[in-house]
Structure 1
Amino acid sequence: MIKLFMVSMLHENGRHATKSMPANRIGTSGANNLFLVCPFCQIENFIVKETGAVFFLTAPAAIFHIYDNDFFDPIDRLIREENISHLYVVADTSCMFVRNVLENRNKRGIACESLIRELATDYDTNESLAAKVVTQEIQLLSRKKLFAERIAAGTLSMYALLTNKSDNSITIIA
């Protein structure tokens, strides 16, 4: 029996269409999947429960400073060594960094906060700002030579996901 969970697709017009989808659509069976997540969101167990995923790399707000080799080298190494074919950048709608920016709370001195502030508008919600964060991260990663070559060759697919642990949902953004 295939376990079902709710997945909502965010359309360009900003509306959601929600449908049931087999859990194995994310974390494709037989493929090596890498999830880039925020350790403070504590979504790894939720993702494992829903997808069976085992590979995770973490950075605050799932923002990896890919032009800094200290951040990029572990991603590069894991992709090569484990032959990763699907990469997911994931944010939870309750991310404290997103919430702190929206509530104009004091900065904690973490680099991701200034990047999130640059994306934020007065009209953002937790969900919309978290979606901007993971979408931008996917765009930046896809420009990096390692990823661009693998995407062009069809050996790597990249996705932006939002999770909402409170309603057990995963939203595919891009």
Structure 2
Amino acid sequence: MSTPISRFPVPERADLPADLRERFDAVEEKSGFLPNVFAALSHRPDEARAFFAMHDALMDKETTGLSKADREVVVVATSAANDCLYCVVAHGAIARIRSRDPYLADQVAVDWRKAPLDPRMHAVLDVAVRLAVTPALVEPADLDALRGHGLSEDDVWDVGAIVSFFALSNRLAHWAAIPPNPEFFLMGREPRR
């Protein structure tokens, strides 16, 4: 018996709008599987499009202050603080691949404070996790501290936007009870041959 992908109806791919089918096909071709969150979000196509657009705008870029790997580490730490198994496992896999470190995502998920991160990323995660868990405790000095670690104004914005966006994602994954795909658990643990 397999675990359902969502507590809500998941449409057949053939019944989805053409743009979502094309995106899902491209993701599946690249990774070898369709992440369960894609299928679950297809329950509401307009919202799925908006979700993917926001995700791509925040996560598919490199800046001087935040690499793609750094962005994934933020997701792992804040998703762990929000107890979101789906996002910890899925973005942990992406963090392992993007950082080329098979251990970092697990260390961050368990206790980011003890993970072997540079002072800049420790500062980023300190603010990010507080924003995820106790947002009222984030103050202007926290943003200044990020700037002091070399983050640009856009990078500082991105930290807050990533945390906020994935708070939504974490809660939707909980709400719909989306399980992580088994493929995610092994990704990035062994060097590619």
Q: TM-score range by the shorter chain?
A: 0.3 to 0.5
Of Structure 1 and Structure 2, which has the larger fraction of its residues in strand? 1
Per chain length, whose mean CA-contact separation is higher, i.e. which structure has more relative contact order (CA < 8 Å, sep 6+)? 2
More helix by share: 2
Considering only CA atoms, is the larger Rg found in Structure 1 or Structure 2? 2
When normalised by structure 1's length, the TM-score is 0.35
TM (norm. structure 2) is 0.33
